[in-house]
Amino acid sequence: MNDLVKRHWTSFLGALLIVCAFVYLFKYTVDQGWITQQMKIGIGLLVGAGLAVGGIRLILSGRRIIGEITSGMGAAVLYTTVSFSGIYFALWDSMIVLLCMTAITVGLSLLAYRENLRILMNLALIGALVSPLVLRPENDQVFTLFVYLLVINIVYFVLSLRKSWTELRVVAFAGTWILYMVYFFHFDPVVTEVWSLPYRYATAAFLFYVLGLVISSWKNNLTFDGLNLYLNVANAVLFGLWSVILLDGLTSVAYPMAFTGVLYLALSYGVYRLMERRTGTPVLTFFLGGVFLLMLAASQAGKGLDIKPLISVYLWTIVAGFLLLAGQARKIDGLKAISLFVWFVVVLYWFVATWSTPRGIWFGVYLPFLNWGAVSWMVLAAFGFYYAAKVKLEALIESGNRALARMVAVVGHLIVGGLLSVQVNGVFDEYGLDKTIDRGLTLSVTWGLYALLLFLWGAYSRQRAFRWFGSAVLIIVAVKALLLDLAGEDTIFKVIVLLVLGVISLSISYINNKWRNDGGQPPHPPVESGPTSRQVE
């Protein structure tokens, strides 16, 4: 394709300019009213056929390049005549346009296929796409244009596959989407329903190119990367942009995004099977593209509802889970890393959004740890602990994997702390306990017990990080209790809380001393199922 363009680009440009001049001549005579429309059609058919026949005679006489250019210009004039008759003026109905387009395109294709006339087909295709761009009607003849483009795309795609003329595929793809854009803004239709005609045409073009490009890759010795892959990505992007434009104010764009995401996930699996279960660039591109689109769709789910943050947390955690399972199954570090990133972002988002989000009460009554909000915390924590215990990145050395697992486990324990805090606050809010029990002191006791659990796990798993983490929590709790919780009126409850915190501190001291006296050995050998059992120092 590159050699063809380098050697003959001036020929293409010259032919394009001549075709444009002929098209504008058609348009100018219409404006001036010099000759009747029937006469224009007759002249166009005669000139086009004459150039085509003359070019073929030149080809047969040995002057191949000049003959191809002449025949290509003749085909472009014939396409212009059909465009003028069926699209610019509705002189021919859709069936006549279909028959004429089929006859011209099939005839050209058979000739080009037998004689290997590549330049002719490129010039004819350029003319076929330029004509509707110049001859834009005042009345809506979009269905006729749809039939016109359908014939062009089918025949030129088939010829592109059979002869490996990739530029035909590229020009047809680009020209079709450009024509769609030009005609949409030219007619400026009022879109009042989801399944409108403009959206139907966009969906049809999208699905046609998905199918055509996959078949093209399949026929080309299962080569799914390269140009076909780039066009597939561009096709999805264009369809997504038009979905945003056409569905604005009518429905959520999450639906077409989810549809496209599922379609590309299915394509990734199909390509994976065709490539004999090999994971290459096409499989990963389709898979990651599908996951990305599903993530975008998930971000739109529940829009306008108070529980949208809760819905988003569940959906994005599911996406992270699928990524992790795929990464574990195929041993792909990239998927594991993306999964961890998604999970971490969800955790940050939930720590910010949880305080103003409905709790998702079950059975009409609030029960601590038995509500959708609590379950979301538990799911996030379980994900982190599983990652810390079972996931290993091949690209990292052993010490790097230990550090990563330790960091993930610490975040998991932070999630547990968030769960405890939110559920305690929920009890006070739902049952109105602030009048009888001090909320701040209750939270201090809760966090003190949390610090004790951190120390227990740090001593058991021989990881100093958790003992440091527990120490930080205990210091914060002590400062809070002494400076904030003791302010105000004296009550017996404050005495009890201080005693409990003192017992917790002594228990932590006992655990530390016992660990040192045992010579640094854990009471039991680490087990693989623990949150960070493989990180033994």
373 closest CA partner among 420, 414, 408: 420
* Predicted local confidence at residue 525, as pLDDT: 43
> Is 497 inside any structural domain?
yes
* Other beta carbons less than 10 A from residue 255's beta carbon: 14
Comparison of pLDDT for 435 and 530, the residue scoring more: 435
In the listed set 139, 167, 187, which residue is the last one of a domain according to the structure?
A: 139
On the 0-12 / 13-18 / 19+ scale of CB atoms within 10 A, 223 is: middle
> Is 252 inside any structural domain?
no
> Is 395 inside any structural domain?
yes
Report whether pLDDT(207) > 90: yes
In the listed set 139, 173, 194, which residue is the last one of a domain according to the structure?
A: 139
pLDDT, tens digit (0-9, with 9 covering 90-100), for 316-335:
888 888 888 888 887 888 88
> Is 191 inside any structural domain?
no
* Predicted local confidence at residue 184, as pLDDT: 82
Report whether pLDDT(537) > 50: no
> Is 279 inside any structural domain?
no
* Residues 83, 73: Cα–Cα separation, whole Å: 15
Report whether pLDDT(138) > 60: no
Compute the average pLDDT of residues 371-388.
Answer: 88
* Predicted local confidence at residue 29, as pLDDT: 65
Domain with 15, as residue range(s), is 1-139
> Is 407 inside any structural domain?
yes
* Predicted local confidence at residue 380, as pLDDT: 92
pLDDT, tens digit (0-9, with 9 covering 90-100), for 383-402:
988 888 888 888 888 888 88
* Other beta carbons less than 10 A from residue 29's beta carbon: 16
Structural domains of the chain, count: 2
Report whether pLDDT(2) > 60: no
104 closest CA partner among 71, 130, 135, 136: 71
pLDDT, tens digit (0-9, with 9 covering 90-100), for 449-501:
888 777 777 766 667 777 777 777 778 877 777 776 666 555 666 677 677 77
> Is 418 inside any structural domain?
yes
pLDDT, tens digit (0-9, with 9 covering 90-100), for 62-101:
777 788 778 877 887 787 777 767 666 666 766 777 777 7
In the listed set 139, 155, 188, which residue is the last one of a domain according to the structure?
A: 139
376 closest CA partner among 356, 354, 355, 391: 354
For residue 167, CA distances in Å to 121, 171, 534 come to 10, 6, 55
The alpha carbon torsion through 515, 520, 521, 527 (nearest 10 deg) reads 90
> Is 237 inside any structural domain?
no
pLDDT, tens digit (0-9, with 9 covering 90-100), for 152-200:
888 888 888 887 788 888 888 888 898 888 878 877 777 888 888 888 8
Compute the average pLDDT of residues 361-366.
Answer: 77
CB 76 within 8 A of CB 124: yes
